Amino acid sequence: MVRSSSLVGSEVRKGLILAAALTGALPLSHAQRDDADRKALPLSSATVQATPGTTRFKLAYNTARWQGREFPAAEGIHLLMAVILDSRTDGSERAQALDELGRLGRWLQNTDRIPKLIGLYDEFRERDERAGVLMILVKADDPRALPLFMKILNEEQNLTHRLIAAYGLANWNVGRGVDELIRLLECTTSMEDCAAVRGQAANNLHGLNDRKGWGCPEDDIRDLAVAASNGDSDEYVKAFSSGYREWFEANKRRFPDWKPSDPLPALQGEHPAEQGAP
C-alpha cells in the first residue's frame, strides 16, 4: 500500500517526539506525565486497576476437579498434592494434577504447601513438570517464591522457566523481572520456542503494565514500531522491544531492586489460608 508523504511525515514526526520523550528530552502527554506514573512503585503484587483476564488472581475457583469428581478446595489440594508427590504417577497424570492445582493457586497462599512446591521444583527433572510448579507458585501469589524466581534468572537458561520466573518477579514490581521480560521480548536465538516466548513476554508486559499501573505508553511505542517496521514483522518486534527498553531504562529507578538477601514483602490481599485452606 502506498502512503501519502504527509502521512509518512506525520508518523516520522510522531516517532521522533516519542523517542525524545522516552529518553527524557521532551515531556509525554498529560496522561503519561501524571505524577502517579513517576512515583516509586511498591514491592507489592496488589492490583492497581482491574483489567480483563486478571480473574486468575482472584479466588475464582473454590473446587477442584479430578477424575470426573469435584472436591472442595481444601480436599482437592490434599488430593492433588498426593498425586503429584506419588512416584507411581506417570508424567501425563502429574501434568494434569499440576494444571488443576494451578487453578487453586491462591488457596495455597500462606500455607505450608509453598515450601513443598519450591522443593519439588528442584526434585523434578522434566522441563514441563518444573514449569507446572512455577506456574502454581506464580498463581499462589506468595512472596516465599521470590528467591526461587530470582535463582532461576541467575542460573538457568531454559526460556520458558525464565519467562515464568520473570513474570513472578514483575508481578511484585521487581525491576529484575521487568528487565528479563524485555530481554525475552528481544530474544533472537534460533531456538524453536523463541518466537512463542517473545509473544508471551509481550502479553505479560501488556497485562502487567495495565494491571499494575506502570504507566508505559504502549500505544505510542506500538505506533512508532509500526511506522519503523514498514510491514516487516521482525523489524516491528525489534522496534517495539527497543521502545519498551528505552522506557524501562528511563523509569528503572521506580521499580524495587529486591534481592534474596532482602526481607520478603508482606502477603497481599485476601489470605485464603486464614479462611480454611489447608
Query: Residues 1-4: contacts with CB within 8 Å, 24+ apart?
Result: none
Per the structure, the complete domain to which residue 188 belongs is given by 9-58+145-262
pLDDT above 50: residue 68 = yes
pTM for the full model?
Answer: 0.81
Look at the chain and report how many structural domains it folds into. 1
pLDDT of residue 180: 97
Categorise residue 217: left if φ over 0, alpha if ψ from -120 to 50, beta otherwise.
beta
Residue 35 within a domain? yes
Grid cell in block for residue 258: 529486591
How far is residue 17's CA from residue 36's CA, in Å, rounded to a whole number?
22
Residue 126 within a domain? no
What would the mean pLDDT of 16-29 be, rounded to a whole number?
41
- Max Cα-Cα span within the chain: 68
Residue 202 within a domain? yes
- At 168-197, the pLDDT tens digits run 999 999 999 999 999 999 887 766 678 889
- Note whether 97 and 80 are within 8 A (CB): yes
Residues paired with 5 in a beta bridge? none
How far is residue 153's CA from residue 126's CA, in Å, rounded to a whole number?
18
Residue 67 within a domain? no
pLDDT of residue 192: 62
Residue 30 within a domain? yes
- At 210-227, the pLDDT tens digits run 999 999 999 999 999 999
What are the backbone angles phi and psi of residue 70, rounded to the nearest 5°? -120, 135
What would the mean pLDDT of 82-89 be, rounded to a whole number?
95
Residue 230 within a domain? yes
Residue 18 within a domain? yes
- At 123-135, the pLDDT tens digits run 999 999 999 999 9
pLDDT of residue 102: 94
pLDDT above 70: residue 7 = no
